[in-house]
């Protein structure tokens, strides 16, 4: 499982022109679920995301986590994070988990993050065509792979 985490000053997610989710300062997390992923991957990544200290303190050092700044989180499933591009120019997604495996893990990630953060998080809709508007703060973008702790 891989999470691409962007520190943002704001973000919104639209589906068919309608705003589905919106957050002020916080994280936009794009979550890729691999065919070999399980509940342990969810637990590992949720802990890393919830504890990630990438917001600036009074001295300008990245030292504060999401809870400390009272930030929000927007979680979006993104099977394209496991695109294989070695051969040819058309990506293959064979390493991405199929919906019957991925949806329960995505839902588990939502509930695990809500528990760790002590509040509801915003989400996309699994499998939907979504447009995300965001302002990446920094820019700060971090990739965490549960298979490479």
- Residue among 80, 115, 135, 141 flagged as catalytic: 80
C-alpha dist (Å) from residue 16 to 29, 65, 77, 125? 21, 33, 17, 12
Please tell me the distance from the alpha carbon of residue 58 to that of residue 30, in angstroms, as a whole number. 28
Element (H, E) at 39: helix 39-51
Active-site residue 80, yes or no? yes
**23 neighbors 121 (Cβ within 8 angstroms):** no
| Catalytic residue ranges | 80
């Amino acid at each position: 499982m891989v999470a691409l985490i962007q520190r943002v000053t704001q973000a919104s997610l639209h589906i068919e022109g309608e705003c589905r989710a919106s957050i002020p300062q916080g994280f936009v997390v794009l979550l890729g679920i691999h065919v070999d992923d399980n509940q342990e991957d969810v637990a590992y990544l949720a802990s890393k995301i919830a504890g990630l200290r990438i917001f600036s303190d009074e001295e300008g050092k990245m030292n504060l986590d999401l809870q400390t700044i009272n930030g929000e989180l927007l979680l979006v499933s993104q099977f394209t994070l496991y695109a294989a591009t070695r051969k040819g120019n058309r990506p293959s997604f064979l390493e991405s988990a199929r919906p019957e495996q991925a949806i329960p893990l995505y839902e588990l990630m939502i509930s695990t993050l809500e528990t760790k953060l002590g509040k509801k998080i915003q989400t996309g809709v699994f499998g939907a065509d979504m447009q995300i508007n965001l302002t990446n703060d920094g820019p700060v973008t971090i990739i965490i792979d549960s298979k490479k702790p």
